[in-house]
């Protein structure tokens, strides 16, 4: 399975079935055992060649940010809410696909010609936006896209520029792809590959996976917001595309294990894998679930820098995606 296939699938929090089915099918070709737990996580296991080595868990989340339909106006315009963190400023005039039949739609707002000077001082909120699917009535709109159905940015992965790709769901399908690529080998240690659901709404899927995993170390593979653009001080540019995989010492919900953090940096240097330290304490991810469950697990987060993350057109460097895979590979080979 290639990265485009994974990114072009639709899988919002709680609606990961398309992605889950494809990943589970691919994992069954490579792993010793594959299960799907009650939450909807895909858990694959591959036994190691050496006794006495740690049990390592690799984690990547399957879900992407999305929209959920709340209702429709009498004129047939769909009202919606974000599922995950989406900035309303990236939504207006974007193409979406809504409902189980993937009905084409456009996210709309009041035209600027009709806004007052006071209106233009404020960022539009989600409840001021709507999805126009061309329906003529509320009944017609809700028949096509019932309440509780999902809508997604309609962006297919494309390569462009200097080693770049753009897609709607690089966070975190890049890491799902890397887990599948890493699964092709057998390593000295036992490895659990956890493809997690509902990360974008508070790491809900990871809580059950962490409770059942009982791993010694968990490496969380993620996409993270690149900080290389804009008129900001150099110290605020916390991670940059093209400089390798980012290794985090801390974020807003977890603290990286110092020994594992240093080991990963040393391995990157020794094996010529491009590595950068994420120089900021921002965001959160599934690492917190693994630190909190049962007796806890040592964790460290390895992230691919993504520009314009949680929007319709996220951008990443293929070299950084490969660096994430390569750093994990040398860690498993030298654990």
Q: Look up residue 263 and give its two tokens.
A: 């080991």
- The two beta strands, 217-225 and 150-153, are unpaired
Strand order in the sheet with 33-36: 33-36, 42-46, 191-196, 56-61, 217-225, 298-306, 245-248, 275-277
Query: Which phi and psi angles does 277 have, rounded to 5°?
Result: -85, 130
**215 and 206 Cβ atoms separated by less than 8 Å:** no
The span from the CA of 56 to the CA of 291, in Å, is 14
**273 and 323 Cβ atoms separated by less than 8 Å:** yes
How far, rounded to the nearest angstrom, does the alpha carbon of residue 243 sit from its chain's CA centroid? 20
Strand order in the sheet with 158-160: 158-160, 164-167, 314-317
Active site residue: 26, 64, 199, 200, which one? 199
Let me know how many helices (H) and strands (E) the chain has, helices first.
8, 17
**326 and 273 Cβ atoms separated by less than 8 Å:** yes
The span from the first CA to the last CA of the chain, in angstroms, equals: 27
Q: How far is CA 175 from CA 16, 26, 95, 186, 318, in A?
A: 15, 15, 25, 18, 12
199 has catalytic annotation: yes
Residues acting as catalytic residues: 199
């Amino acid at each position: 399975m290639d990265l485009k296939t994974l990114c072009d699938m639709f899988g919002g929090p709680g609606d990961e079935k398309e992605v889950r089915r494809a990943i589970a099918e691919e994992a069954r070709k490579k792993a010793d055992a594959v299960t799907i737990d009650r939450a909807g996580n895909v858990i694959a296991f591959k036994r190691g060649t050496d006794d006495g080595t740690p049990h390592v868990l690799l984690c990547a989340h399957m879900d992407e940010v999305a929209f959920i339909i709340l209702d429709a106006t009498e004129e047939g315009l769909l009202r919606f809410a974000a599922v995950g963190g989406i900035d309303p400023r990236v939504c207006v005039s974007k193409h979406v696909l809504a409902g189980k039949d993937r009905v084409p739609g456009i996210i709309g707002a009041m035209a600027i010609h009709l806004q007052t000077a006071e209106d233009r001082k404020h960022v539009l909120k989600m409840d001021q936006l709507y999805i126009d699917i061309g329906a003529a009535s509320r009944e017609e709109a809700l028949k096509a896209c019932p309440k509780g159905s999902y809508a997604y940015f309609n962006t297919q992965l494309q390569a462009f520029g200097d080693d770049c790709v753009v897609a709607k769901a690089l966070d975190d399908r890049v890491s799902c792809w890397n887990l599948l690529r890493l699964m092709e080998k057998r390593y000295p240690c036992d490895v659990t590959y956890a493809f997690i659901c509902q990360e974008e709404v508070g790491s809900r899927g990871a809580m059950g996976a962490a409770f059942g995993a009982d791993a010694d170390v968990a490496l969380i593979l993620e996409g993270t917001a690149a900080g290389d653009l804009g008129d900001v001080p150099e110290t605020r540019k916390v991670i940059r595309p093209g400089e390798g995989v980012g290794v985090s010492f801390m974020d807003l919900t977890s603290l990286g294990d110092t020994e594992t953090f240093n080991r990963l940096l040393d391995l990157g240097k020794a094996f010529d894998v491009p590595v950068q330290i994420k120089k900021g304490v921002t965001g959160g991810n599934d690492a917190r679930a693994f630190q909190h469950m049962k007796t806890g697990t040592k964790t460290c987060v390895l992230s691919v820098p993504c520009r314009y993350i949680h929007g319709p057109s996220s951008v990443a460097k293929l070299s950084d995606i490969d660096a994430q895979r390569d750093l994990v590979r040398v860690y498993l080979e030298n654990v």
